[in-house]
């Protein structure tokens, strides 16, 4: 009963969880500090759409209270002040003035935190962080933001890269050292190969401790017997009588287990046949 109730809850814990969005965040127990990415950033892409030129312009401020208002631009030609990520499609056709043809908010300060997913990339999050936002509807389509923050210690890009916009999904990518896990997460990442001290890591640890212990035991035992009793040959082995009987003991033990398993299996088979 309890197990069956607990199972879905355990599964839910494994999913990327939506916590209140702050730039100082923990995703799947890996913490990141994105606050250096705050402030107004811009990216975009031009494309030739004869007889005009089209431009996708993105303004974003991940950590602040939105991108604010641009002076001298009509209100309808920009996102509302509380917008964190805004895409505007602009068309140029000289000699006409540029024309803003769509203004699409993806993430606003009123976007519920449940609509924001953060997922670390890589085993210890050392490859960065994925941010997925289910934003408001625009032109009858839900608008999603697909922001990939790539951990790169050498990157110096002050702005993200525009990857694509297909109706309903804006993809941005940003290589930055601020997308690397905090120092707490680097312990595993910097280990190189031997990282991931999970259950199997623990078993491996026990195995090596056991092996080293055994080697030390024999080495010290032999040395002791040699120094103390000037022992030679088999007499050097510490607790010689125990080790001589050891193979027989192991055989006995396995013999018992084997008989019990066979006996138990026979018993339950008997139980089933009486039911049928």
Using CA atoms, how far apart are residues 185 and 25, in angstroms rounded to an integer?
13
45 binds ligand NAG (CB under 6 A): no
146 binds ligand NAG (CB under 6 A): yes
In the complex with ligand NAG, which residue's Cβ is closer, 53 or 119? 119
Q: CB under 8 Å to 186, separation ≥6 — which residues?
A: 126, 180
- Distance separating the N- and C-terminal Cα atoms of the chain: 27
Least distance CB 183 / ligand NAG (angstroms): 26
Using CA atoms, how far apart are residues 79 and 70, in angstroms rounded to an integer?
10
Least distance CB 155 / ligand NAG (angstroms): 14
Q: What is the DSSP string of 144-180?
A: EEEEEEEE-TT---SS-EEEEEETTEEEEEEEEGGGS
The alpha carbon torsion through 264, 268, 269, 272 (nearest 10 deg) reads 180
Pattern of binders to ligand NAG over 168-207, x per CB under 6 A?
A: -x-x-x----------------------------------
Least distance CB 259 / ligand NAG (angstroms): 57
For residue 13, the surrounding DSSP H or E stretch is helix 2-14
163 binds ligand NAG (CB under 6 A): yes
Residue choice 143, 148, 176, 225 for contact with ligand NAG (CB under 6 A): 148
152 binds ligand NAG (CB under 6 A): no
**Contacts to ligand NAG by CB under 6 A:** 146, 148, 163, 169, 171, 173
């Amino acid at each position: 009963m309890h197990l069956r109730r607990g199972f879905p809850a355990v599964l839910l814990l494994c999913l990327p969880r939506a916590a209140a969005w702050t730039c100082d965040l923990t995703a799947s127990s890996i913490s990141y500090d994105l606050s250096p990415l705050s402030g107004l950033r811009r990216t975009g892409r031009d494309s030739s759409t004869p007889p005009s030129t089209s431009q996708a312009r993105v303004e974003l401020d991940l950590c602040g209270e939105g991108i604010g208002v641009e002076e001298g631009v009509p209100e309808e030609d920009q996102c509302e002040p509380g917008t964190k990520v805004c895409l505007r499609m602009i068309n140029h056709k000289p000699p006409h003035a540029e024309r803003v043809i769509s203004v699409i908010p993806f993430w606003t300060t009123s976007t519920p935190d449940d609509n924001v997913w953060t997922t670390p990339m890589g085993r210890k999050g050392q490859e960065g962080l994925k941010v997925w936002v289910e934003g408001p509807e625009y032109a009858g389509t839900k608008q999603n933001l697909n922001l990939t923050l790539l951990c790169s210690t050498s990157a110096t890009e002050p702005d993200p890269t525009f990857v694509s916009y297909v109706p309903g999904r804006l993809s941005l990518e940003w290589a930055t050292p601020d997308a690397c896990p905090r120092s707490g997460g680097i312990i595993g990442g910097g280990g190189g190969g031997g990282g991931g001290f999970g259950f199997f890591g623990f078993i491996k640890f026990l195995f090596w401790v056991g092996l080293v212990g055994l080697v030390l035991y024999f080495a010290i035992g032999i040395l002791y017997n040699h120094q103390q009793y000037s022992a030679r040959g088999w007499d050097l082995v510490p607790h010689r009588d125990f080790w001589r009987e050891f193979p027989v003991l192991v055989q006995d033990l396995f013999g018992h287990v084997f008989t019990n398993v066979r006996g138990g299996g026979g018993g339950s088979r008997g139980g089933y046949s009486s039911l049928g």
